[in-house]
Amino acid sequence: MKTFVIGISGVTNGGKTTLAKKLQKHLPNCSVISQDDFFKPQSEIETDTNGFLQYDVLEALNMEKMMSAISRWMESPRHSPVSTDSGSTEEIPILIIEGFLLYNYKPLDALWNRSYFLTIPYEECKRRRSTRVYEPPDVPGYFDGHVWPMYLKHRQEIENITWEIMYLDGTKSEEDLFSQVYEELKQELTKHKCLQVTT
C-alpha cells in the first residue's frame, strides 16, 4: 500500500510537536509517532564527566522499539496503535514522525517522502527551554554543557545528507510555519496521488 511519511526534526523547543499536531488535524488519514515516547528509563541513561545525564544522544532512545511502532503502522496504516484521525479510503495514509534525532538514524533514511528541520537561534532556544519543565529537571549548566553542544554536533552530521531537507525558521509564528508546510505538503500529496494512479 502506498503511504506518505513526513519527518519533522530539529532543535529542542523548536516547535516540532506543535507543528506535527497541527498538521495531523488538517491532513486526512494522518497518524503521528513521537520520538520522545521512546526514551529509555533514567536508570539506563549514561552520565558524562560533568555529571550531566546524556539524554540528547541516540543511545538514550529505544530506537528498535520506535522502528517496531513504525513497521506496525506501515503494515496496517489505517488501524494504527498511534493516534489517527479517520480518513476516507481514497486518501493516502500519512505518517508524521517527529523528534530531535531522526535524520541521524540510518534505518529511517529510506522512509522519508518529505523531511523538515526546525531551527531557532541559541538565545531563543535557551529562553524557551528555561520555560519548560522536564523530568528529570535540567540542572544548572545542562543546556550549555550538553543540550546545545549535542544539537550542534547532530546538525553538523546531517549536513552531508543526500536527500533534501527543508529547513524551517522556528522563530516564525505557529500559524506561519503551519501554513508554509501545509501548502507544500498539499502539493506533494497531489503529485504523490498522480503517481499512484499512473503506476
Is residue 15's pLDDT more than 70? yes
Lowest mean pLDDT among 76-90, 143-157, 183-197: 76-90
- Residue 191: the pLDDT is 85
| pLDDT value, residue 79 | 46
What percentage of the chain reaches a pLDDT higher than 90?
Answer: 79
pLDDT band at 171 (very low <50, low <70, confident <90, very high): very high
Q: Which of 94-108, 156-170, 182-196 has the highest mean pLDDT?
A: 94-108
Q: Which pLDDT band holds residue 192 (cuts at 50, 70, 90)? A: confident
Annotation says 36 is catalytic: yes
The span from the CA of 147 to the CA of 28, in Å, is: 35
Kindly state the helix (H) or strand (E) to which residue 193 belongs, with its residue range. Answer: helix 174-198
Name the active-site residue from 36, 37, 48, 176.
36
137-143: long-range contacts (C-beta < 8 A, 24 or more apart)?
A: 139/51, 139/52, 141/50, 141/52, 142/52
In sequence order, what are the residues at sequence separation of 6 or more whose Cβ sits closer than 8 angstroms to the Cβ of residue 198?
none
| pLDDT for residue 165 is more than 60 | yes
* Angle at the Cα of 85 from the Cα atoms of 79 and 87, rounded to 5 degrees: 80
